[in-house]
């Protein structure tokens, strides 16, 4: 909607009140819609894990992987295998066996599986976690480097902390740093979390 009406009159000297109101309302609605889409897009890109706790999570997963109950481990309470059970299973599957109960020929799908690099669900989960871990470590390093460069000493950090507390942003900033590190890093680089230098505030505007 044009402020001058639905059909622009090039001879109009001033906007129509009703058309102007409708134009402003449509602009506000469009702006809100675009902002919501942008926010949803960046929220979807945020890490699904806490980048500050990724190492502890990796350690926990490693402990689970080598726990006694994991496949291939020795369990003293394991159920005894019935003699000849291997031969029975292979016979049911139609695979020839030798005297030791082992297949005389390797599975025809073993080489194909290896060639296609087919992974088990556990291997896929580990691969996804390692990729997320690498991304989290890169993001964490970038944040720490930016903070150390912007606030190089204890005095600087005290000034920044006092400023954030004064303007009521301390809790929000802490939430962004922990849960939305991509957005935190973007705003950090833009200088949103620290006061501007006094020299800038007192500087006369130049054309």
**Model-wide pTM > 0.85:** no
**What is the pLDDT, as a whole number, of residue 111?**
64
The verdict on residue 61 lying in a domain is no
pLDDT higher for 99 or 170? 170
Residue 203 phi/psi, 5-degree rounding, is -70, 130
Beta strands in the chain (DSSP E): none
Residue 154 CB burial class (10 angstroms; 0-12, 13-18, ≥19): exposed
Mean pLDDT of 80-93: 46
Quote the domain boundaries for residue 21: 1-8+15-45
**Domain count along the chain:** 2
The verdict on residue 38 lying in a domain is yes
Mean pLDDT of 86-115: 52
User: Contact, 193 vs 187, CB < 8 A?
Assistant: yes
Mean pLDDT of 121-141: 84
User: Contact, 6 vs 18, CB < 8 A?
Assistant: no
**What is the pLDDT, as a whole number, of residue 35?**
97
**What is the pLDDT, as a whole number, of residue 74?**
43
């Amino acid at each position: 909607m044009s402020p001058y009406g639905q059909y622009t009159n090039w001879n109009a000297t001033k906007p129509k009140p009703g058309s102007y109101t409708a134009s402003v309302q449509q602009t506000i609605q469009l702006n809100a819609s675009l902002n919501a889409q942008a926010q949803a897009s960046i929220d979807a890109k945020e890490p699904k894990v806490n980048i500050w706790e990724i190492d502890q999570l990796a350690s926990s997963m490693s402990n689970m992987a080598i726990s006694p109950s994991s496949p291939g481990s020795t369990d003293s309470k394991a159920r005894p295998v019935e003699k000849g059970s291997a031969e029975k299973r292979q016979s049911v599957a139609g695979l020839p066996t030798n005297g030791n109960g082992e297949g005389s020929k390797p599975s025809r799908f073993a080489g194909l599986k290896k060639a296609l690099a087919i992974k088990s669900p556990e291997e896929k989960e580990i691969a996804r976690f390692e990729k997320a871990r690498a991304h989290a470590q890169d993001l964490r390093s970038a944040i720490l480097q930016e903070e150390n460069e912007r606030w190089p000493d204890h005095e600087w950090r005290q000034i920044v902390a006092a400023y954030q507390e004064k303007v009521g942003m301390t809790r929000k900033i802490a939430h962004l740093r922990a849960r939305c590190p991509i957005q935190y890093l973007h705003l950090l680089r833009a200088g949103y979390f620290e006061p501007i230098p006094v020299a800038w505030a007192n500087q006369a505007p130049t054309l």
